[in-house]
Structure 1
Amino acid sequence: MKGGSGGGGGVAPAKRRWRGLAIAVLFLVILSMLVPLGFLLGPHSGFHSAGHMPLQRPSPSGDRSSHIDNLVRKLGPTLPKDVLKGFVNEAKNETGSINATPKTQQKKGIPIPPQVVMQPFTSKNISRINGKAKMKSDVDESEGFCDLKYGSYCIWREENREEMHDSMVKKLKDQLFVARAYFPSIVKIPAQSKLSGELKQNIQEVECVLSESTTDADLPPEIQKKSRRMEAVIARAKSVSLDCNNIDKKLRQIFDLTEDEANFHMKQSAFLYQLAVQTMPKSLHCLSMRLTVEYFRDHLFDKELSEKYSDPTLQHYVIFSNNVIASSVVINSTVVHAIDTVNQVFHVLTDWQNYYAMKHWFLRNTFRDAVVQVLNIEDPDSYGKATLSHLTLPVEFRVSFPSNDSAPAINNRTQYVSIFSHSHYLLPEIFKNLEKVVVLDDDVVVQQDLSALWSLNMGGKVTGAIEICSVKMDQLRSYLGDHSFQKHSCSWMSGLNVIDLARWRDLDISETYWKLVKEQVSMKEGSALLATLLTFQDQIYALDRVWVLSGLGHDYGLDIEGIKKAAVLHYNGNKKPWLDLGIPKYKEYWKKFLNHEDQYLSECNVNR
């Protein structure tokens, strides 16, 4: 018995040892599974050991790009700054946009083939050249897209941006949208009956306020308290665990509606802007009508100065215009700065509608010793050949082309190319006795004496003009077609042009132009530009750039000292100085040549 009991006493401790060993092994196995799991989940749940930098998990509604910034900032000491910057930009681009636009492709180094976008408008209403700007942020990128799609309207919009009015009404509407998005999901949770009741009550109160108020001035005095209560209840609703699909769907619907509405208003505003550019202001229309009526009422007669009109020894200036005030400013500014005005003859070529207004204006106004002749270009008897049925003014083109260069200003991406119209090619017919004329557009202001142009030796060239070497012929190859041209030659500009009519006739420039126009009948867009550039290829004498400073009709960044030194200011672009849309700081150079004491200008409110 003793031996049996002694043997049994030896087995029990052995079993206990094996049981303890099994428990220890099982504990080690469990521990070996928990340690990696804790290591993996610890940083995201906020648990970490000493010496380890925790990583904060971004909230589902948070901005992932800020999380990337924080992550890179913490890893900063191990990476160069330029690498970090590239990493952050790339990560933001990937999270911010699914489909890369051409501009984001440019940022990533993906080459984009050069592309020219031309949008011609009629009567100096124009197209655009986009160009060399590096977008430094998403805001700049959206501005660049707006600028390309809607033209200089976007620049004008930024220049004339006003502070938001009725901001409280807008804030209440936004709160109401969010509250309505959360309410259907909150009301389905029985435990949140109190919250749903408060949410419903706040929604009804805000709806009642907005039904009676459209501006901040109409809101009741206690509206700030209502807004804070609504904001607090929305914050509580956001803290509730909900099925986000319904809320997401509702907010997306609101976002889509808002985006569609914003896009509609953008297009409508751009259309109204272009309409304002193309439409004659009410004050100028009033002036033209008043002058026409007064012409037939007063029975003024023309002064017989026909010998000066056709005298080739005098200085002849030609202006194509249907704008009385614009043509008057051109003549007045030229005469004021002329050393000798006895030899100056101005020929204003206009249409039937403005012919009598022009006649009356220049008969009742004198410009020192200079004489002014008004011709109706739509009357074939004025030059003996019926070629055009209506007056056409110089045409401006806005050409757009993407670039990889890094010019910072949006304005630097714009170039307006002004060219001759069909009417210009009648000059040899209209002025048969003249050998040389200077053509001035009606959107220029003269600041110096122009007599030196008459002694200019152009070396057998047909016309002297300002060249635009920022727009090469090669960049317009898609519009020049199969015609041969010098790829690296510069385009040129109307505005101030010295024309050798004798050389024009010898080379039969007009016939060449009309042939090119007939060849491009099917190509409406850019056909005028093509025909003009090809017609005058190798026939342009480049004037010194000090003669003309262009861009006052679109470029906000011109140097004031450069403006004062220029002989001629050219308001090319669609912000003409006689329009309300004109750039204010450049208008003064144009307005000072108006006769502010004139009765008709005051009655038609032209001087404002």
Structure 2
Amino acid sequence: MEQLQCLLLMFEVSNGLVARAESVQLGLDTTIGYSHLGGAISSHNTMPGKKRWSWLVIAVLGLVLLSMLVPLAFLLGLHNGFHSVAHPGDANEQRKSGSTKKAVSSSSPVVKGGKLTRVDEVLRNHGPTLPKELRRHSVKKTENKTTGFAVPIQVSNPPPQKHNVVAGSSTEGTKTNQVTGESEKTCELKFGSYCLWRQQHREKVKDFIVKKMKDQLYVARAYYPSVAKIPKLDQFTQEIKQSIQEFERILSESSSDIDLPPQVEKKMQKMETTITKAKSAVVDCNNVDKKLRQLVDLTEDEANFHMKQSAFLYQLAVQTTPKSLHCLSMGLTVEYFKTSPDGADLSESLLNPDLHHYVIFSNNVLASSVVINSTVMHAKVSRKHVFHVLTDKQSFFSMKMWFFTTSYKDAKVHVLNIEDLDLLEGQSSSHLSMPQELRLSFQSMSKSRTEYISVFSHLHYSLARIFPTLKKIILLDDDIVVQRDLSTLWNIDMNEKVIGAVQFCKLKLGAIKNYLGKENYDADSCMWMSGINVIDLVRWRKKDVTKTYQGLVQRRLTGKTTLGATMLTFQGLLFALDDSWVLSGLGHNYGITNEAINKAAVLHFNGNMKPWLELGIPAYKIHWRKFLNHENRFLTDCNVNP
């Protein structure tokens, strides 16, 4: 409105100037005509006067054109870049309509010295109005203080996604249930649990000088090709090249601020001066932009490669037996064949149903020893305890030698080779592998979460046949530490149930429907974990649990893991133990407090970071290490110090 009024006003002024010029021209013509008619003016005086009036007309017409073009140019400049002055009429209309404007903090202009900067005023008053959809997914730009380039930062929130269960194979040889968005490929599927561990426990960058040097090196590399193309800047090109080579040499030898050589600040100031000169040079910005993008892409590819390599090494460290433990197993095996211990552990007293029988499936000597030692140390009466360690043929002799030379108060240890036993019908001994954990990963809108579920293997369903005379057993995993007396569990009333276990209600059966097939089940039922389980073998045989499991296996509800078949086998046969019995997550969760650890009866180190590995969480390993006999000669010879 303001611009239109100004345009009309200038148009009226220009029309007045044109009319005035026409009147001058008319007076000129009248004067010339009068001189011809009256003859009062001589011919030699008339021609010079006519020329003077002609130049006057041309000058007036030029002024008229300028008077029209200048206001037009001014109005165009006002629309594109100048601040328009508020018209009183607009304010009156706003007051009449009662509309008010509220200042938004994110869009308020920058104030310098109490006044708005010209650029901010122009952006505020003449900036485009975006639709709501674009505003929600807008991209803000921030300036990198080191490089001076504008870097886009996405600030939009992703739209809500439906969650579904996606089955994927993990690097550990077990299947993974991945709860994720329909179109989102998560970090867990790409890099395994290492990536989630890296995200959850990322440390802040402390080496700021090294980081700043890398930024300067990137900018110098981006400008170098463009500056090198200018013949007049040959000397400056050599200066940039030398600075780049010097920074590359320093960063190749130093990865932290402590390792940096002396006087590195002077070198950084020199590089900063070089970058400033490069920015002031007349170069093609498109070439600089392309080079910088190329460097960023190469760095991203390199980082992706190192992340994959780190994830592989992480999984390798998790699955590989440490050198010291391998030495321990081999040393015990050699010692067994040298001494040939007797078979005193085959006495009938080991199968007395009146004793407290514990069963451990393991091929790890050190882990089994800690489980037995921690249980016995907290037992009120140790002479009633009998531990049955079921292992494979490869670890059998080392297990026999270890428990033959190591005593646990008055408790007895019985070692069995599962390959020598007549177990499930129709199952080969190679199929009866040792128990494994199942990793289940979840992707939500806020964060990623991984849980480790230890479930029964095929071996567990042979317990009734392996121990035909026993009535009740307590099943222990080899990655636990006992902190209380377990005698109460032997007298617990399970209300005609077959198995007692701690429920895991963070995960429902409906979330693993891919493993359950078309069987009938309650989708809202909680899952449960092994770790510590009370099993009534009398009711097991009465319910014929082994036959139920075999029927589910024949319907292909199991593969590399027995998750689906195990959960359906014990449907309606599970007695829920109190949650205070077992504290899980010490093999992957850094957020467990000391108070919770001290209250738990059993600590379960489920997860990749087992306490006997170097990857084990140091804050939790102390609760496991205190049950090791560090003076044992086999541990000393192999330098076992987890």
Q: Shorter-chain-normalised TM-score: which range?
A: 0.7 to 0.9
Between the aligned partners of 1:353 and 1:296, the Cα distance in structure 2 is: 14
The residue aligned with 2:78 is 39
Structure 1 partner of 2:93: none
Change (3 A) 1:560 1:459: same
Match of 2:553 among 514, 517, 523: 517
What is the alpha-carbon distance in structure 2 between the residues aligned to residue 77 and residue 335 of structure 1? 76
* 1:551 corresponds to: 585
Tell me if structure 2 keeps the 8 A contact 1:116–1:476.
no
| 2:128 equivalent to 1:90 | no
Q: Give the secondary-structure state (helix, strand or coil) at the position aligned to 1:280.
A: coil
Q: Name the residue aligned to 1:30.
A: 69
CA distance in 2, matches of 1:518, 1:240: 76
Please name the residue that 2:516 is paired with.
Answer: 480
**Residue 203 of structure 1 pairs with residue 241 of structure 2:** yes
Tell me the secondary structure at the aligned position of residue 339 of structure 1: coil
Amino acid at match of 1:215: E
Native 8 Å contact 2:549 2:566 kept in 1: yes
* Paired residues for 1:105-504 under 5 Å: 107-117=157-167, 119-120=169-170, 122=172, 127=176, 146=187, 149-154=190-195, 156-157=197-198, 159=201, 178-190=219-231, 193=232, 195-204=233-242, 206-207=244-245, 214-216=252-254, 225-304=266-345, 306-380=347-421, 387-389=428-430, 392-404=433-445, 413-504=449-540
Instruction: Kindly provide the amino acid, as one letter, of the partner of residue 199 in structure 1.
Output: T
Separation in 1, partners of 2:342, 2:202: 47
Give the CA deviation at 1:340: 1.3
Distance 1:145 1:387, change over 3 A: closer
CA offsets per residue over residues 298-336 of structure 1, 9 Å max, x none?
222132562222111211100000000100100111111
Using the TM superposition, name which of 5-14 and 573-582 deviates more: 5-14
Once the two structures are TM-superposed, the CA of residue 282 in structure 1 deviates from its matched residue by: 0.9
- The amino acid across from 1:477 in the alignment is K
Q: Which residue of 2 aligns with 1:58?
A: none
Q: Tell me the amino acid that sits aligned with residue 401 of structure 1.
A: F
Is structure 2 residue 526 aligned with structure 1 residue 505? no
C-alpha displacement at 1:604, in angstroms? 1.4
- One-letter code of the match for 1:112? K
Residues 114 and 382 (structure 1), Cα distance of their counterparts in 2 relative to 1, 3 Å cut:
closer
- Counterparts of 1:368 and 1:333 in 2: how far apart (Å)? 11
CA contact (8 A) 1:115 1:402 kept: no
Secondary structure class of the residue paired with 2:138: helix
Identity of counterpart residues, as a percentage?
A: 48
SS at match of 2:464: helix
1:99 to 1:533, Cα distance in 2 relative to 1, 3 A: farther
Q: Which has the higher contact order (CA 8 A, sep 6+)?
A: 1
Cα displacement string for residues 395-429 of structure 1 (whole angstroms, at most 9, x for unaligned residues) = 2222223334x5xx76xx22211111111111111
Contact 1:338 1:450 survives alignment (8 Å): yes
Query: Could you tell me whether the CA contact under 8 Å between 2:442 and 2:450 is conserved in 1?
Result: no
> What's the counterpart of residue 570 of structure 1?
604
Amino acid at match of 1:256: D
Kept in 2, the 8 Å contact 1:577–1:587? The answer is: yes
Amino acid at match of 1:284: L
> Cα distance, 1:343 vs. partner?
1.4
Q: 1:585 offset after TM fit, Å?
A: 0.3
SS at match of 1:494: coil
Q: In structure 1, how many angstroms separate the alpha carbons of the residues matched to 2:473 and 2:380?
A: 18
Distance 1:524 1:391, change over 3 A: closer
Partner Cα distance (2:172, 2:348) in 1: 36
Gapped runs of 5+ residues in structure 2?
1-33, 88-103, 111-119, 143-149
CA contact (8 A) 2:353 2:470 kept: yes
Aligned-partner Cα distance in 2 for 1:37–1:162: 51
Instruction: Give the 3 Å change call, closer, same or farther, for CA 575–559 of structure 1 in structure 2.
Output: same
Partners of 1:148 and 1:155 in 2: CA distance: 10
The letter for the 2-side match of 1:461 is K
Instruction: Give the structure 1 partner of residue 113 of structure 2.
Output: none
Question: Are 1:441 and 1:494, in contact at CA under 8 Å, matched by a contact in 2?
Answer: yes
Q: Secondary structure at the match of 2:616?
A: coil
Segment drifting more, 171-180 vs 308-317: 171-180
CA–CA distance in 2 between the matches of 1:380 and 1:97? Answer: 67
Residue range with higher mean Cα deviation, 382-391 or 255-264: 382-391
Structure 1 length-normalised TM: 0.79
Distance 1:130 1:286, change over 3 A: farther
Q: Which amino acid aligns with 1:513?
A: Y
CA contact (8 A) 1:202 1:229 kept: no
**Residue 27 and residue 344 in structure 1: after superposition, are their counterparts in 2 closer, same or farther (change >3 A)?**
same
Task: Tell me the equivalent position of 1:586.
Answer: 620
**2:186–2:443 contact (8 Å) kept in structure 1:** no
Q: Structure 1, residues 40-87: CA drift from partner, whole Å, max 9, x if none?
A: 3436xxxx58999xxxxxxxxxxxxxxx99645669999xxxx9x999
Q: Secondary structure at the match of 1:374?
A: strand
Paired with 1:513 and 1:497, the residues of 2 have a C-alpha distance of 18
State which drifts further: 394-403 or 111-120.
Answer: 111-120
Instruction: Check conservation: 1:117, 1:400, Cα contact below 8 A.
Output: no
Q: Measured at CA, do residues 456 and 118 of structure 1 come closer, stay the same or move farther in structure 2, by a change above 3 Å?
A: farther
d(CA) in 2 for partners of 1:515, 1:373: 31
Residue 24 of structure 2 is matched in structure 1 by none
How far the C-alpha of 1:480 sits from its partner, in A, is 2.0
After TM superposition, give the deviation of residue 248 of structure 1 in Å. Answer: 3.0
Instruction: Report the Cα distance in structure 1 between the residues aligned to 2:425 and 2:107, rounded to whole angstroms.
Output: 80
Secondary structure class of the residue paired with 2:390: strand
Find the aligned partners of 2:493 and 2:614 in 1 and give their Cα distance.
Answer: 41
Q: CA separation in 2, counterparts of 1:284 and 1:10? A: 120
Distance 1:209 1:202 in 2: 11
**Is the 8 Å Cα contact of residues 117 and 401 (structure 1) preserved in structure 2?**
no
CA RMSD in angstroms comes to 4.3
| CA distance in 1 between partners of 2:69 and 2:467 (Å) | 105
Specify whether residues 303 and 368 from structure 1 end up closer, same or farther in structure 2 by C-alpha distance, changes over 3 A only: same
Give the letter aligned to residue 237 of structure 1: A
Name the SS of the counterpart of 2:579 in structure 1. Answer: coil
The answer to whether the 8 Å contact 2:501/2:533 transfers is: yes
Cα distance in 1 for residues equivalent to 2:245 and 2:51: 82
